C-alpha cells in the first residue's frame, strides 16, 4: 500500500502544476498587474507613479513568464510566475496583495469553517441514514411514497431559500438563536446551530433518496433473503446486514469530501457571517486578490487529491476483497 | 413528546445563554447587556489601517476614532466648518512672494511663492498604551530590537506583556508627513502632496535611491532625513511649507493622512518576523484619539475601547438653530467620549443585519431597498415618514443630502457625443432632458435622491438653491419648483443637432450610442433597461456594453468609452473638490486625472484657476456661477443626482446628528444601555409553541408507522 500511496503522490504533481498554471493564466488574462494595483490602491487619485511603485514593491513589475532581459536561469526565475507560484509547492503561500500572511490567515480561518462543516457532516449522516432506513423499511407503503415525494420537493428548493427561511423562522420569528455571527469556544454553539440545521435540512432530500436507493439495492440481494429465511427479524436484517453493507458506498463517498471540509461553504459563511475559508475565498475574488485566490485554488486541489487517495484507502478497509498494489 | 422537546431545548438554552434571563438569540455575551457599548455593523473588511494609506470611508470608521490630525470638522455647525482637534488654534497661514516678502491673504496665486502653515498643538496629549513605547527600568525600549526568535510565542499585539505611552509632539506630525515619500508605503495622495509640499519629491528620490542600493528592506528612520517642506519650530509647533497657494490644503489637515505617527511604532513594526505574523501598522493602529482598536478581526468583529490615556474633549456648546430643540446640545460642555466600547460586527448580507437591528442588536441601521417599504412610507405631502411598525419600536428616521454626485458622463473625446461642436452640444442637452432622473430616483432609490442641477451638491459653497440654481437647459421653473423640460423640447434639440427622430439627417442611419458600465447582474439589468428606454424616446438606440471592472477602467483610461456612469464623494466641503473633476489638465486619458469625461474648456479652466485659491465670498460665488453656466451649456455630464442618506436610530441612541464630512463622530454618540436591555428582552422572548406543535405532529404521525412496524414484526411468512 505504501508503494501505491507514493505512486499516487507522484501522479499528483503534474496535476498540481497544471492547476497552478491554469489558475495563473486565467487570472492574468483577466487582470493585468496594473489592474491588481489599481484595485488595491483604491479608486481616487491613483497616479501611474503610485501604480508602478506598488507593482515594484510586490514584484509585479517583472515579466509574467519569461524575462528576456535576464541571463541564464534568471530568465525563468525573475518572473511573476516563478516568484509567486513556485513556492506554493512547499505550501509557502506568501503574502496577499494587501500585505497579509496567507498561511497565517488560513490557519486562523479554517476553524470556523470546520465548526460548521464537521457537525453538518456528522449530524447529516445520522439523519440521512436514519430517514433512508425508515423509508427502506417501509418500502412500497404510504410512508415511503410520501417520504420520497417530500424528498423530491425538498431537493427542488434552492439552498438560498433554506438559508433565508431558516434565519426568518428560527432567528427572527421564534427568537431561538442569533440570526448571524460567530464566537469562539462554547459560545460558538448558538451561532453554528442554525447554519448546521439549515445545511442539514437543505441536503436531506437528495441524500436521503441516494441512501434509500443504496439500502433498497442491498435489501434485494441474496444474503438478505437468506437472513430473512433463517428467521431473523426485519430490524436485525436491517441493522446487522443491510446497514453494514450499505455503509460501504456511503463511507467511501464521505471520505472523499473529508479534506474539503476545511475549505468551508461559500454561501453559508457569507449569510451567517461565519469567518471561515469560504468567505475568505469569496472576499479575495471580489477584491481580485490573486495571491489568495491562487493559494485557495491550490489548497483545494491538494485537498481534493488527498480526498481521492483516502477514498482508495478506505475501500481496502471497508471491503477486505480490495487490495492496493 | 412535549416533555422530551423541553428537556432537549432547556439544556441547549442554558448552554447558550449561560443560565441567565438573556434572550436566546442575543448574539453578544450576556455580560455586555448592561454595559455602555455601541453596536454597529461593517460590510467590508478594511484594506488599510495605516493613516497614510487609507482613503476609504469604511476604513475611516475606525481610523477616525484612533488618529488625531490637527483639525476636525465641527460636529454640529452647518455649512461644514473646520475647528481645532489637537491644534490650539486654527493654523496661521503666511504667503510669501519670490523675494520672501509677506503677502496679503487675498494675494493672487501666481504671486505666491511659498505658503506656510504654522500649527501649534496642545501639550499633554498622550498616545494610547502600546508595546512600541514600553521601556525597561533603565529607560531602554523593550521591543525595538526584537528578532524572529523573540516572536515565537507572539501572535498578536496583545501578546506583548508590557505597554507604555508618551506625550504627543510635533515630531510625530513631521514623521508622518515624511512617510509620504517612503518607498515602501503607498499613499494615494502622495502624488498630490508632492505637487504642493516643498521637498517631498526630493526626499522620495533620496529614499528610493538608498532603498535600491540596499539589498534588504530594512527599517528607514525618517528622523534622519530632512524635509524642506516641514519645519520643527519647538516641541509643540511646526510649519508646513507649500510651493504654491493651495487654500484647500487646510481641509487635508483634518484627514488622517496628517495624523501623528510616533517613530517608535514604525521601528517596532519593522522588526524581522513581525510582518510574517501580520503584526503591522496597517493592522494595529497607534494613536492619541478617544478610542483604540483592541480587537481587529475584520472577518468577524472590530472592537474599539476607550483609550485610557485620552485627555477628554468637551462636547460642542454651539450648533445650528434647530440643534437645541433636536436635543443635540444636551451634553454641551461634558467631556467625551460617552461610550466605553464600540463593537462593529461583520454583516455581508443586508437581510441578517436588518433583522438584527429590528431585534435591538444594532443601535443604528441604514435602509436597503429590500427593507425600505417595511421602514418608510411617504405621506400625502410626499415627505418620508416611518411606518407604524417602526414608530411602535420608538425608532427615529434621520435623513441628510450627501455631499456626493452620481452622474452620467460623455466622453468628450468621442466623435459623436464629445467635442465642442454645436451639434454634439445639442445632442448632449437633448439626452440630458430625456433621461428623467426624477423617475430614476423614484424607481431605483425609493425617492432617496435629489436631482442635480450642476456639479456642486447642497451643503457645499457655490451651490445655489431655488430658481437661480436650476439648470435652464434641462429644467423650467414652474409653480415654485424646477420641472424637467418636455420630451418634445429634447426632440427639437435632436432635430437641431441633425438627428430628427434619432436618425442622422445626412445618412439616414439610426443614431446608435454606447453605454459602458461595469454593472452586471440581475439587479443592474433593470436600471440599464431603463436607460435604454429613456433614449429610445428620442429614437436613439442605446447599446449597453457591460464589461468587468478592470476593462471598464481600461476603457476610461484609454478614452474609448462613449457614455459612462460615475460618482464622486467629497473629500472636503469646497467647490474646488467638485469643479476639478471637469478641469482640463485633470483629463483622465491625457493626464491620468479625475476628469473622467476628458472635458476641456479654456474659459472654464481659466476661471477654475482663479476660483480655487479664492476665499469663499461674493466674488468667488460669481466666478462659480459663471463656471457652472459654462458646464450646463456644454453638458459634459448629465448631472444625475445627489443621494439622500436615510438612517434609523433606536430610541436609546442619541447625539447622532449626520455629519458627512467628519470621520471622528463616535466620541459624540451616547447610548442608554438600560433602555436597550429592557426593550431587547421585551422584543426577543423565545416562541416555543410552534416547536412544541411540530414535535406533537411528528409524534402523532409516527403512531401509524409504529403500528405498521409492530404488525410486520408479528406477521408470519405464510
pLDDT by residue (tens digit) across B55-86?
A: 888 899 999 999 999 999 999 998 899 999 99
CA dist., res. B341 & res. B28, Å (int):
13
Stretch B311-316: mean pLDDT = 96
CA dist., res. B658 & res. B655, Å (int):
9
Dmax over CA atoms of chain A, in Å, equals 85
Higher confidence at residue B53 or residue A59?
B53
On average, the pLDDT of chain A sits at 87
Task: Provide the 10 A C-beta neighbour count for residue B694.
Answer: 11
pLDDT at B5 over 70: no
Instruction: Kindly report which listed range (A152-156, B40-44, B518-522, B695-699) carries the lowest average pLDDT score.
Output: B518-522
Residues 6+ apart with CB under 8 A from B319: B75, B76, B77, B328, B329, B657
Q: Is the dihedral of CA B682, B686, B692, B693 positive or negative?
A: positive
B27/A45 CB distance under 8 A? no
On average, the pLDDT of chain B sits at 92
Write out chain A residues lying below 8 Å of B405, CB-based. Answer: none
CB B258 within 8 A of CB B70: yes
pLDDT at B173 over 90: yes
Which tens digit of pLDDT belongs to each residue from A62-119?
Answer: 888 888 888 888 888 888 888 877 888 888 888 887 778 888 889 888 999 999 999 9
Q: Is B397 helix (H, G, I), strand (E, B) or coil?
A: strand
Preferred mutation among B196, B256, B278 to probe A, highest tally of A CBs within 10 A: B278
Find the residue in B nearest to A27 (Cα).
B550
Write out chain B residues lying below 8 Å of A168, CB-based. Answer: 355
Find the residue in A nearest to B682 (Cα).
A175
pLDDT at B340 over 80: yes
Question: Measured between CA atoms, how close is B276 to chain A, in angstroms?
Answer: 6
Q: Which CATH number fits domain B404-645: 3.30.70.260, 3.10.105.10, 1.10.357.10, 1.10.760.10?
A: 3.10.105.10
Which tens digit of pLDDT belongs to each residue from B415-429?
Answer: 999 999 999 999 999
Kind and range of the H or E run holding B670: strand B670-671
Write out chain B residues lying below 8 Å of A279, CB-based. Answer: 299, 348
Stretch A203-214: mean pLDDT = 93
A42/B55 CB distance under 8 A? yes
Which tens digit of pLDDT belongs to each residue from B597-647?
Answer: 999 999 999 999 999 989 899 999 999 999 999 999 999 999 999 999 999
CA dist., res. B104 & res. A260, Å (int):
71
Kind and range of the H or E run holding B706: helix B689-714
**What pLDDT score does B50 carry?**
95
Stretch B231-247: mean pLDDT = 97
Domain ranges of chain A: 2-90, 116-318
Instruction: Kindly report which listed range (A47-61, B49-63, B236-250) carries the lowest average pLDDT score.
Output: A47-61
* Separation in Å, CA A178 to CA B29, B295, B353, B405: 12, 21, 11, 38
Q: How confident is the model at residue B1 (pLDDT cuts 50, 70, 90)?
A: very low
Stretch B386-408: mean pLDDT = 94
pLDDT at B287 over 60: yes
**What pLDDT score does B215 carry?**
61
Q: What are the b/e assignments for B17-46, b being 16+ CB within 10 Å?
A: beeeebbbbbbbeeebbeeebbbbbbeebb
A206 touches chain B (CB under 8 A): no
CA dist., res. B62 & res. B666, Å (int):
9
Task: Provide the 10 A C-beta neighbour count for residue B123.
Answer: 11
Stretch B212-219: mean pLDDT = 70
Q: Is the dihedral of CA A16, A22, A26, A29 positive or negative?
A: positive
Q: Which of A40, A49, A190 sits opposite B191 (nearest CB)?
A: A49
Peptide bond between residue B337 and the one before it cis (omega within 30 degrees of 0): yes
Instruction: Kindly report which listed range (A4-13, B113-122, B392-401) carries the lowest average pLDDT score.
Output: A4-13
pLDDT at B19 over 80: no
Write out chain A residues lying below 8 Å of B553, CB-based. Answer: 35, 38
Domain ranges of chain B: 2-24+688-714, 47-286, 404-645
A175/B345 CB distance under 8 A? no
Write out chain B residues lying below 8 Å of A53, CB-based. Answer: 183, 186
Residues 6+ apart with CB under 8 A from B13: B24, B686
Q: Which of B309, B272, B280, B308 is nearest to B296 (CA)?
A: B280
The reply to whether ipTM tops 0.90 is: no
B186/A41 CB distance under 8 A? yes
Write out chain B residues lying below 8 Å of A193, CB-based. Answer: 12
DSSP letters, A141-164, are SHHHHHHHHHHHHHHHS-HHHHHH
Stretch B240-245: mean pLDDT = 96
Kind and range of the H or E run holding B78: none
Which tens digit of pLDDT belongs to each residue from B633-665?
Answer: 999 999 999 999 999 999 999 999 999 999 999
Task: Provide the 10 A C-beta neighbour count for residue B150.
Answer: 13
Q: How confident is the model at residue B12 (pLDDT cuts 50, 70, 90)?
A: low
Class of domain B47-286 as given by CATH: alpha beta
CA dist., res. B434 & res. B447, Å (int):
19
**What pLDDT score does B174 carry?**
98
Q: Find the distance separating the first CA and the last CA of chain A, reported in whole Å.
A: 6
Helices (H) and strands (E) counted in chain B, each on its own, are: 21, 27
CA dist., res. B438 & res. B477, Å (int):
15
Which tens digit of pLDDT belongs to each residue from B480-516?
Answer: 899 999 999 999 999 999 999 999 999 999 999 999 9
Write out chain A residues lying below 8 Å of B592, CB-based. Answer: 47-48
Q: Which fold has domain A116-318?
A: MetI-like fold (1.10.3720)
Question: Measured between CA atoms, how close is A13 to chain B, in angstroms?
Answer: 27
Higher confidence at residue B375 or residue A41?
B375
Task: Provide the 10 A C-beta neighbour count for residue B605.
Answer: 17
DSSP letters, B410-444, are E-TTSTTT-SS-HHHHHHHHHHHHHS-HHHHHHHH
Question: Measured between CA atoms, how close is A109 to chain B, in angstroms?
Answer: 9
Q: What are the b/e assignments for B235-251, b being 16+ CB within 10 Å?
A: ebbbbbbbbbbbbbbbb
Instruction: Kindly report which listed range (A30-34, B322-326, B435-439, B544-548) carries the lowest average pLDDT score.
Output: A30-34
Q: How many CA atoms lie within 13 A of B683 on its CB side?
A: 23
Q: How confident is the model at residue B2 (pLDDT cuts 50, 70, 90)?
A: very low
pLDDT at B4 over 50: no
pLDDT at B21 over 80: no
CA dist., res. B555 & res. B567, Å (int):
17
Q: How far is CA B322 from the centre of its chain?
A: 26
Preferred mutation among A133, A179, A281, A284 to probe B, highest tally of B CBs within 10 A: A179
**What pLDDT score does B704 carry?**
85
Amino acid at each position: 500500500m505504501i508503494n501505491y500511496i507514493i505512486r499516487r503522490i507522484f501522479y499528483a504533481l503534474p496535476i498540481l502544476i497544471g492547476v497552478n498554471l491554469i489558475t495563473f493564466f486565467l487570472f492574468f488574462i483577466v487582470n493585468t498587474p496594473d489592474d491588481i494595483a489599481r484595485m488595491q490602491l483604491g479608486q481616487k487619485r491613483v497616479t501611474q507613479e503610485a501604480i508602478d511603485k506598488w507593482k515594484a514593491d510586490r514584484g509585479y513589475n517583472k515579466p509574467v513568464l519569461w524575462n528576456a532581459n535576464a541571463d541564464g536561469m534568471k530568465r525563468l526565475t525573475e518572473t511573476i510566475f516563478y516568484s509567486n507560484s513556485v513556492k506554493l509547492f512547499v505550501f509557502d503561500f506568501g503574502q496577499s496583495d494587501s500585505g497579509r500572511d496567507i498561511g497565517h490567515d488560513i490557519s486562523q480561518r479554517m476553524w470556523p469553517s470546520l465548526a460548521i462543516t464537521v457537525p453538518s457532516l456528522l449530524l447529516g449522516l445520522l439523519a440521512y441514514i436514519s430517514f433512508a432506513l425508515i423509508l427502506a423499511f417501509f418500502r412500497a407503503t404510504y410512508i415511503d411514497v410520501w417520504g420520497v415525494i417530500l424528498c423530491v420537493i425538498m431537493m427542488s428548493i434552492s439552498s438560498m431559500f433554506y438559508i433565508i427561511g431558516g434565519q426568518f423562522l428560527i432567528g427572527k420569528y421564534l427568537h431561538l438563536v442569533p440570526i448571524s455571527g460567530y464566537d469562539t469556544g462554547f459560545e460558538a454553539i448558538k451561532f453554528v446551530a442554525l447554519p448546521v440545521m439549515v445545511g442539514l435540512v437543505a441536503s436531506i432530500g437528495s441524500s436521503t433518496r441516494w441512501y434509500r436507493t443504496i439500502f433498497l439495492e442491498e435489501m434485494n440481494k441474496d444474503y438478505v433473503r437468506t437472513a430473512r429465511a433463517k428467521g431473523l427479524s426485519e430490524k436485525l436484517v436491517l441493522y446487522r446486514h443491510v446497514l453494514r453493507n450499505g455503509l460501504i458506498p456511503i463511507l467511501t463517498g464521505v471520505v472523499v469530501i473529508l479534506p474539503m471540509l476545511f475549505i468551508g461553504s461559500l454561501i453559508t459563511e457569507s449569510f451567517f457571517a461565519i469567518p471561515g475559508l469560504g468567505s475568505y475565498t469569496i472576499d479575495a475574488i471580489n477584491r481580485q486578490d490573486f495571491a489568495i485566490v491562487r493559494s485557495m485554488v491550490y489548497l483545494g486541489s491538494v485537498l481534493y487529491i488527498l480526498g481521492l487517495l483516502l477514498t482508495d484507502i478506505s475501500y481496502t478497509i471497508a471491503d477486505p476483497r480490495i487490495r492496493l498494489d | 413528546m412535549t416533555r422530551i422537546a423541553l428537556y432537549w431545548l432547556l439544556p441547549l438554552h442554558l448552554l447558550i445563554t449561560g443560565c441567565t434571563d438573556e434572550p436566546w438569540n442575543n448574539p453578544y455575551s450576556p455580560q455586555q447587556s448592561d454595559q455602555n457599548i455601541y453596536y454597529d455593523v461593517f460590510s467590508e473588511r478594511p484594506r488599510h489601517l495605516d493613516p497614510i494609506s487609507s482613503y476609504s470611508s469604511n476604513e475611516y470608521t475606525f481610523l477616525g476614532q484612533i488618529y488625531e490630525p490637527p483639525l476636525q470638522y465641527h460636529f454640529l455647525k452647518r455649512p461644514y466648518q473646520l475647528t481645532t482637534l489637537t491644534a490650539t488654534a486654527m493654523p496661521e497661514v503666511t504667503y510669501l512672494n519670490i523675494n520672501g516678502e509677506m503677502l496679503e491673504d487675498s494675494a493672487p496665486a501666481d504671486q505666491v511663492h511659498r505658503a506656510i502653515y504654522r500649527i501649534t498643538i496642545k501639550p499633554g496629549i498622550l498616545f494610547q498604551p502600546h508595546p512600541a513605547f514600553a521601556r525597561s527600568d533603565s529607560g531602554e525600549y523593550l521591543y525595538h530590537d526584537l528578532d524572529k526568535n523573540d516572536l515565537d510565542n507572539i501572535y498578536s499585539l496583545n501578546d506583548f506583556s508590557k505597554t507604555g505611552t508618551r506625550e504627543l509632539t510635533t515630531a510625530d506630525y513631521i514623521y508622518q508627513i515624511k512617510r509620504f515619500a517612503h518607498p515602501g508605503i503607498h499613499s494615494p495622495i502622495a502624488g498630490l502632496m508632492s505637487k504642493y509640499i516643498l521637498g517631498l519629491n526630493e526626499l522620495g528620490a533620496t529614499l528610493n535611491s538608498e532603498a535600491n542600493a540596499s539589498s534588504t528592506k530594512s527599517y528607514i528612520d525618517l528622523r534622519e532625513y530632512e524635509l524642506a517642506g516641514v519645519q520643527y519650530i519647538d516641541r509643540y509647533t511646526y510649519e508646513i511649507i507649500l510651493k504654491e497657494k493651495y487654500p484647500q490644503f487646510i481641509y487635508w489637515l483634518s484627514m488622517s493622512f496628517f495624523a501623528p505617527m510616533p517613530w517608535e511604532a514604525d521601528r517596532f513594526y519593522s522588526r524581522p518576523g513581525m510582518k510574517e505574523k501580520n503584526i503591522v501598522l496597517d493592522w494595529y493602529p497607534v494613536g492619541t484619539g478617544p478610542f483604540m482598536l483592541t480587537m481587529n478581526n475584520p472577518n468577524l468583529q472590530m472592537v474599539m475601547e476607550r483609550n485610557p490615556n485620552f485627555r477628554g474633549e468637551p462636547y460642542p456648546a454651539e450648533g445650528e438653530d434647530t440643534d437645541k430643540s433636536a436635543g443635540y446640545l444636551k451634553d454641551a460642555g461634558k467631556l467625551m467620549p460617552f461610550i466605553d466600547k464600540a463593537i462593529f460586527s461583520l454583516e455581508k448580507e443586508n437581510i441578517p443585519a436588518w433583522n438584527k437591528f429590528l431585534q435591538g442588536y444594532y443601535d443604528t441601521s441604514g435602509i436597503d431597498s429590500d427593507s425600505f417599504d417595511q421602514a418608510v412610507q411617504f405621506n400625502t405631502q410626499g415627505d418620508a415618514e416611518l411606518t407604524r411598525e417602526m414608530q411602535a419600536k420608538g425608532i427615529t428616521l434621520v435623513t441628510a443630502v450627501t455631499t456626493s454626485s452620481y452622474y452620467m458622463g460623455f466622453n468628450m473625446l468621442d466623435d459623436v457625443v464629445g467635442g465642442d461642436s454645436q451639434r454634439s452640444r445639442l445632442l448632449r442637452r437633448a439626452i440630458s432632458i430625456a433621461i428623467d432622473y426624477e423617475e430614476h430616483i423614484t424607481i431605483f432609490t425609493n425617492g432617496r435622491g435629489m436631482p442635480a442641477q450642476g456639479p456642486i451638491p447642497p451643503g457645499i459653497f457655490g451651490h445655489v438653491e431655488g430658481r437661480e440654481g436650476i439648470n435652464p437647459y434641462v429644467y423650467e421653473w414652474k409653480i415654485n419648483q424646477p420641472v424637467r423640460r418636455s420630451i418634445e423640447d429634447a426632440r427639437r434639440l435632436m432635430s437641431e443637432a441633425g438627428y430628427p427622430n434619432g436618425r442622422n439627417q445626412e445618412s439616414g442611419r439610426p443614431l446608435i450610442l454606447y453605454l459602458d458600465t461595469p454593472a452586471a447582474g440581475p439587479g443592474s439589468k433593470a436600471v440599464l433597461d431603463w436607460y435604454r428606454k429613456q433614449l429610445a424616446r428620442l429614437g436613439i438606440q442605446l447599446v449597453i456594453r457591460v464589461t468587468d471592472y478592470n476593462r471598464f477602467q481600461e476603457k476610461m483610461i484609454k478614452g474609448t468609452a462613449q457614455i459612462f456612469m460615475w460618482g464622486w464623494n467629497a473629500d472636503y466641503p469646497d467647490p474646488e473638490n467638485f469643479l476639478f473633476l471637469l478641469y482640463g489638465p485633470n483629463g483622465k486619458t491625457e493626464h491620468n486625472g479625475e476628469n473622467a469625461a476628458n472635458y476641456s474648456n479654456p474659459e472654464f479652466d481659466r476661471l477654475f484657476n482663479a476660483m480655487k485659491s479664492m476665499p469663499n465670498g461674493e466674488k468667488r460665488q460669481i466666478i462659480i456661477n459663471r463656471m457652472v453656466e459654462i458646464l450646463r451649456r456644454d453638458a459634459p455630464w448629465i448631472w444625475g443626482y445627489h443621494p439622500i442618506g436615510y438612517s434609523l436610530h433606536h430610541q436609546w441612541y442619541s447625539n447622532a446628528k449626520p455629519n458627512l464630512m467628519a470621520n471622528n463622530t463616535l466620541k459624540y454618540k451616547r447610548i442608554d444601555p438600560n433602555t436597550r436591555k429592557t426593550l431587547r428582552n421585551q422584543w426577543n422572548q423565545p416562541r416555543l409553541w410552534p416547536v412544541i406543535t411540530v414535535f406533537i405532529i411528528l409524534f402523532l404521525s409516527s403512531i401509524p408507522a409504529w403500528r405498521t412496524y409492530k404488525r410486520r414484526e408479528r406477521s408470519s411468512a405464510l
